[in-house]
Structure 1
């Protein structure tokens, strides 16, 4: 099945929402290096609350982008890893991230010019 992102009733839009979410993007970038524990994800991503990270991880697991593995230890150890589907997002997300990092200065300058012109 191939979706149509321009059809308002197509589930493709739900997927675009997921992969367009900054927390999902940062989770993919972090897990591209291999399985990670929750605290590592939280500390690496920075600025995300545990509640939001938990919600993001659950949604990504539901979407088939990552797996959650609970180890039978005391205390329990949980690791998250990208699935093959999640790994297929790595290159596109890395490309967009690279573009953002290279162009952040130009975007901020454009915003400043726009805001200054609008204030006149």
Structure 2
């Protein structure tokens, strides 16, 4: 951040909004949560995050690396293997991501019940 410059995420052109766009992505949160436990190579990440395509995983990893949340380390093996791990910045984000994960897992039944009540009322109205 430039010294003396304050960001306001509620302003339209605030660059901090870009963080919200990226972190609100389910795949990004899942990748960060998995990597917070341990470094992993591409295929293991794909295995541990059910439903993610190789193309999407590759795109998200590149984006997270560009933003400084993860780092990739090429291992000199045959075949060459790349390990992904969180940076210090990524570990900070992982703390928040875990809180969201825990909250979602703890409250999903309440959300589903609310959706069902809402849908039932909407069916009666229509």
Shared fold per TM-score greater than 0.5:
yes
| Greater gyration radius | 2
Q: In 2, distance between residues paired with 1:34 and 1:56? A: 18
Aligned length: 120
For residue 3 of structure 1, report the CA deviation from its aligned partner: 2.4
Mapping 1:35-46, distance limit 5 Å: 35-46=39-50
CA-based RMSD: 1.0
**Superposition TM-score, scaled by structure 1 size:** 0.95
Question: TM-score, normalized by length of structure 2?
Answer: 0.91
User: Structure 2: where are the runs of 5+ without partners?
Assistant: none
Match of 1:85 in 2: 89
Deviations 1:28-82 (A, max 9, x none): 1101112101111111111100100100000000000000111122211100000
Give CA deviations for 1:9-45 in whole Å, capped at 9, x if unaligned: 0111111111111111111110111210111111111
Unaligned runs of 5+ in 1: none
Partner of 1:21: 25
Does residue 53 of structure 1 match 2:53? no
